[in-house]
A and B are shown apart, each in its own frame.
Chain A
Amino acid sequence: MASNINIIDIKNLYFSYDHECVLENINLKVHKGDFLAILGPNGGGKTTLLKIILGLIKPDRGKISVFGTNPGKENSKIGYVPQYSYINRNFPLSVLETVLMGIQKKIFFSFNYTKDDVKLAKDVLARVDMQEYCSKQIHNLSGGQRQRVMLARAMVSDPELIILDEPTSNVDPYGTFCFFSFLEELNKEKTIIIVSHNVNIIATKVNSVACVNKFLYYNSEPVLTKNMLEILYGMHDEHSCSLGKYFTDDFKYMAKSESKSDD
């Protein structure tokens, strides 16, 4: 399945917010046809990495190419499913209109949708089995239904790569199962990247996994390595995991503070 064409190629990438290093020496290749899971704890830099790939922020150092060019240039080839928490829940919008948003349009005078646009949107909604909800309000759907609509919005522009950010955080277990079996189907024609803090998704049909927590470890098989487990479950270095080391660190600290108070 995986061929040698690199859709994303990241080499020695660094990024920091206010001098605090968030991503350090990241190397990652995504091939055409991959189904990659990017895992990592909250605050580990997953979303930052995603924003760099989408061209929303620039890395400090390192090389990154997306579809062979700078990130952000070829975003029409990327279907993006953002976290639901980013979405404005005040905005009145029907399911059909939500999907129509995904159709690539020019910036000016794009007031109306053509009949073809509407037909295309309805076809995509039918693929995710949501066609009977066309006129429903997006905010009245269940978490799983909403996620399917958001996926339809990403699919409507027929992208080569689909990126999903925490797609199942508001979805019940059965809905999650359905969602992933659909993604598995979709993976036959599209490259998919899923970003999640939920380790369970490696039990699905992902074919490679990357763990991000400041550093990135990559495995071309859907199995977590020892390195990955270490960065997933907190920043426990080997020495700090041992109880004795914790104590000695404490004593050192106490000794320091005592010597300070002596001054």
Chain B
Amino acid sequence: MIEILQMGFIKNAVVAITFGSILCGIIGSYVVVNRITFLAGGVAHASFGGVGLAFFLNTPVLLTTFIFSLVASAIIGLLTIKDNDKMDTVVGILWSSGMALGIILLDLTPGYKGNLMGYLFGSILSVSNGDLLFMAISTLVVILSVIVFYRNLMIMSFDREFAAVKGIPVGFFHVLVLILIGFALVILIRVSGLILVIALLSIPPAISSKFTKSFFSMIIFSIVINLVLGFSGLYFSYYFNISSGASIIMLLSILYCIVVLSEKTYKYFKKYNENSLDKS
């Protein structure tokens, strides 16, 4: 175990997972509570256009994708401020057109395209020191914005109408949350890739929402789940020589199934006991 940690790229991977866990815990809780998983997925997939753009213009991939995903999330945010019937169509179109743009730009780029699969499904072992700095900055930005706006984000998530009456700029915060998703994406591209991001954002808060009683504890539990399963996933991927992102997500999914099944069993037996008590 110790000797694994002494390898430089593993060290970077561990730091990346730590940043990713914190971000996913915070952003994911907002995503799950506000039921905007689909919007988050839209932002993530549309960001593939950024990967294509980076190869086409020969610019740094992470930075270009970051800027592209911020723009994409702002557009999706602005178009979905009013929760109208066409929202899912709009997001669906942006979702796929972003990916299509990425593919076209890649087609137009001559020469070797590098490890494209890495951007789609994650390549945590290739995190560079420069990437780490970038991740640290985005984590800091997300944590700061949540601390500054915590109460408003909370009121808005619980009850938009009331928030609007209280004079909270609901539209601004709606876009802000999506832009923060854009920030989180930069880190998560390395950890899990663009396609698997939704799992990291949605599974841990979904698990913690089963037993937490406040939004703050939901965030903290999600971060803990992310950290524990992130490191175990990394260990499994090293041990069995499989992709790290996929192994983390498989672990999360298995944990989710176990939690849901035990919840159902618990409820069933509780009901059964109550019924048998009534009869006796």
Contacts and interface: CB of A to CB of B under 8 A. Distances in A.
Interface of A: 54, 56, 72, 75-76, 78, 80, 82-83, 86-88, 90-94, 97-98, 101, 104-105, 107-111, 135, 137, 153
Q: Which 8 A-B pairs have the closest CB atoms?
A: A110-B151, A82-B161, A80-B165, A91-B158, A86-B161, A111-B150, A90-B33, A101-B155
B212 interface: yes
B148 interface: yes
Interface stretch (B10-18, B190-198, B213-221): B213-221
B159 A86 contact: yes
A101 B165 contact: no
Contact of B168 (A76, A107, A109): A107
Interface residues of B, number: 30
B158 to A, nearest CB: 5
A83 B213 CA distance: 23
Contacts of B151: 101, 105, 110-111
Interface string B130-171: 000000000000000001111110110111111011111000
A23 B217 CA distance: 45
B215 A91 contact: yes
B101 interface: no
A137 B213 contact: yes
B209 interface: yes
A93 B214 contact: yes
Nearest to B146: A111
Given A76-B167, A101-B159, A109-B148, 9 more contacts: A75-B165, A75-B166, A80-B165, A87-B159, A88-B157, A90-B33, A90-B34, A91-B33, A92-B218
A80 B150 contact: no
A36 B151 CA distance: 33
B32 interface: yes
A85 to B, nearest CB: 10
Nearest to A107: B152
A88 B165 contact: no
28 contacts: A54-B164, A75-B166, A75-B167, A80-B161, A82-B159, A83-B161, A86-B160, A88-B33, A88-B157, A88-B160, A90-B209, A91-B33, A91-B158, A91-B215, A92-B209, A92-B215, A93-B214, A94-B213, A101-B151, A101-B158, A101-B162, A107-B149, A107-B152, A110-B151, A111-B150, A111-B151, A135-B213, A137-B213
Per DSSP, chain B at the interface is: helix
Contact of A88 (B149, B152, B159): B159
Contacts of B267: none
A88 B162 contact: no
B264 interface: no
B154 A101 contact: yes
Interface string B171-208: 00000000000000000000000000000000000000
B154 A88 contact: no
Contacts of B157: 88, 91
B35 interface: yes
A56 B165 contact: yes
B160 to A, nearest CB: 7
Contacts of A98: 158
A88 B34 contact: yes
Most B CB within 10 A of own CB, among A109, A135, A137: A109
A167 to B, nearest CB: 14
B162 A82 contact: yes
